[in-house]
Chains A and B, each alone.
Chain A
Amino acid sequence: MLTPTEGTGHTEGTGHTEGTGRTADTGAEEELRIQYRIADLERRFGDPVDPDNPLGIDALLAADERGELLAEAEDVLADFQLNAEFVPRRWGGRLDRVDTMGRVLRAVFRRDASLGLGYGATSFLAAVAVWAAGTQEQQRRVAELLLGGGRLAIAYHELAHGNDFVRNEFRATEEPGGGFRLDGVKQVINNVVRAEALVLFCRTDDAAGSRSHSVLLAEKDRLPEGRLRYLPRYATVGVRGCQNAGIEFTDCPVAGDALVGELGDGVELALRSFQITRSVVPSMILGGGDTALRTAVSFALNRQLYNRSVLEIPHARATLVGAFTDLLICDCLALAATRAVHLLPAETSVYAAAVKYLLPKLLTDTTYDLSVVLGANFYVRGGEYGAFQKHVRDLPMISLGHAGTAACQATIIPQLPRLARAAWFTGPPAPDGLFRIRDPLPPLDPGLLELVATSDGLACSLAGAAEELAGDGGSGLSARTGEYGEALVALAGELEAELRGLQEECAAMPAKDRTVLASPRSYAAADRYALLLAAAACLGVWRNQGAGQGTGPGAGQGADRAADPHGARAGFLASPVWPAVALTRLAKRLGRPLPKLPAGWEEHLLDEVLSRYHEARSYDLYDTPLAG
């Protein structure tokens, strides 16, 4: 039987904590542990493109064609105890940082999104409500289930109501003697048949409104026979290996202790849980983006057209460099959103929605651009480049799961007028820790997440950025801009001006535009806002690279360096090239005037793309060594 450990949850080795404290030492150890975990997972999976690898792309594609998860791959994940990534350390798992979860899961998603969702992430989406609001007993049971290799299914949405899940009809009726009776149908629930327990979003009150639903944890082995039946599986365009089916409960009793949180707290709990899941799922799916780019690079290097390799075609080179830059942009935003869960929990509601909105959109656009490079090979479902079309099919499915684009925008829009009036250009900028890719974080505490953001440190960090880059802020940042100084100052100025314009527009947004009846203009405002957050994240990451950091509580940057096995390469993120190109791409999407970049930027980035391909290192901020 599991019992929670005390403190912030360090149970292994010498990494104990003292007081508030993680010393620089534990920060370095923590980073090493994370790198070890990722390397371990990579090693177990092996080289994805090796045709003889039983866990390689060929085997995964074949399983996808069969509509199955690759059994051997599931065994590897069970052996690795992937589920421990979803269980808080105090319950014996390895979960203490949301950014780390995204990082580890990329190793799975870069091979197969179905596996990433179907083996693992789904269980976390379900469990997070229990970590946020469950009783000690519920948390213990869920931890035991997951650490024992079991599965948890999440049954929030109903097909008829989509993300308008407040209209959900699945009913849990309170019994006079305690407990509930379940009645109704939930469709398209991943793993519903093989999961040992379900986290159910149920109507517990007939009244219309946001206090009429509750979350229940239903463990199948505690339910009487014959009260539930499964409905046929749904065939899907993407993530074909995922086993999405329906479930119907008929007059099924559950005990009163199945209730997670308070009666009527369902919507609140969902909105709180979504802040964590919406932050971390986009980070995970960057692994798929890595594979899409890697596949296109492989094609560009190997394919001969017009007597030369595709890579020699200028458009192809530009596309590869653009895709790499987009992946960096996505990772910067994912980093800020996942670290905000720990560092800016009062602001995470907008950041989580922004990353869940923007990241799949950028990845979709990027993937489309890359598909042009692949040409006719884009349509081939097997072979060397077959992974690409699978990613194209999987990506929208993962994006839709648990929060569609419109639902995320609907979370952002009502918050914009208040942020515009009371936060932007007035609040403090985000702390440096938000952007430090390998720094430790304070413990995860879902109770600190607020339903509505009243400040916005990420957006505020754009204010004054141009002056700082120009050298007026005394930060020494201008010394790092080199020949990109002029472009970076101009871009930062454009972004700040864009935020000013957005502020004016949002402050004047009519009340009607905050509801689902919002005009397309409001949706455009949410889009601009998300792009600005991404830009702020890119600048923040770059600003926190290189010299002049390592002070302040918990910074541990020096130790972080020491922990970085390929520290010599840290120069890439510190150079001003990638942020200049990233901000240019974002400013272009925002329709701002673009400065001219110094010659040589494309070659610089292409060199990085190619060396990360040849040396098998990840296309994200972490430059992680990969198998194969």
Chain B
Amino acid sequence: MVPQPTGAHVPDPPGTQAPMGEREFTRWLKARLAEFLGRPAEDIDPRTPFAEYGLDSVAALSLYGDIEDEFALFLEPTVAWDHPTVEALARCLAEEYASRGGRPDPDTPAEV
């Protein structure tokens, strides 16, 4: 069940980016969700479930791919179902990121 890296998109090496914490992930997720929903990022409440914004189950599944491409965090496709708000998902991503010491290794995808 662990999605394998496809290798086509090579993310920036983590060292070249600012360290990612909950706040950074929140900002990124709000921007991403805003794109999904076609509304300003300021309007996204971090505690409102994605589904209440009209993000359907299948579209929510595609978020994990964005996360993988952007941060080389290899998570389950259902990560946005299990952490269904910006706040919850940002926390999950920050923990994943930290547990990898900011050095994700594409050869050993994390168990979620």
- Which residues from chain A sit less than 8 Å from chain B, CB to CB? 164, 166, 207-211, 267-268, 271, 410-411, 414-415, 417-418, 421-423, 426-427, 450-452, 454-455, 510-512, 514-517
Contacts and interface: CB of A to CB of B under 8 A. Distances in A.
B57 A450 contact: no
The 3 closest A-B pairs by CB, nearest first: A422-B6, A511-B35, A414-B62
Interface stretch (B18-26, B76-84, B94-102): B76-84
Contacts of B54: 515-517
Interface of B: 1, 3-4, 6-9, 32, 35-38, 49-52, 54-62, 64-66, 69, 77-78, 81-82, 84
A424 B110 CA distance: 25
Contact of A451 (B37, B56, B61, B69): B61
Contact of A454 (B3, B36, B58, B81): B3
Given A210-B84, A418-B65, A166 B8 contact: no
A166 B51 contact: yes
Given A166-B51, A166-B57, A511-B36, A452 B62 contact: yes
Nearest to B85: A209
Contact of A209 (B6, B7, B50, B77): B50
Contacts of A426: 6-8
Contact of B81 (A211, A510, A512, A514): A211
B52 A271 contact: no
A422 B64 CA distance: 14
A454 B4 contact: yes
Contact of B35 (A208, A211, A414, A510): A510
A156 to B, nearest CB: 13
Given A455-B6, A517-B54, A207 B84 contact: yes
B8 A423 contact: yes
B105 to A, nearest CB: 18
Contacts of B38: 512, 517
B59 A414 contact: yes
Q: Is the interface of A mostly helix, strand, loop or mixed?
A: loop
A450 B2 CA distance: 9
A271 B57 contact: yes
Contact of B36 (A207, A210, A417, A515): A515
B66 to A, nearest CB: 8
B57 A210 contact: yes
Contacts of B66: 511
A422 B68 CA distance: 12
Given A426-B7, A455-B6, A517-B38, 13 more contacts: A208-B49, A414-B59, A422-B9, A450-B1, A452-B64, A454-B65, A511-B35, A511-B66, A512-B35, A512-B38, A515-B59, A516-B54, A516-B56
B1 A514 contact: no
Nearest to B66: A511
Contact of A418 (B7, B57, B62): B62
Nearest to B1: A450
Contacts of B55: 515
28 contacts: A166-B56, A207-B49, A208-B52, A208-B84, A210-B51, A210-B60, A210-B78, A211-B82, A267-B81, A268-B81, A410-B56, A414-B59, A414-B61, A421-B8, A421-B9, A423-B6, A426-B6, A451-B78, A454-B3, A511-B66, A512-B36, A514-B59, A514-B62, A515-B36, A515-B54, A515-B56, A516-B56, A517-B54
B59 A452 contact: no
B81 A209 contact: yes
Nearest to B32: A511
A209 B53 CA distance: 10
A270 to B, nearest CB: 9
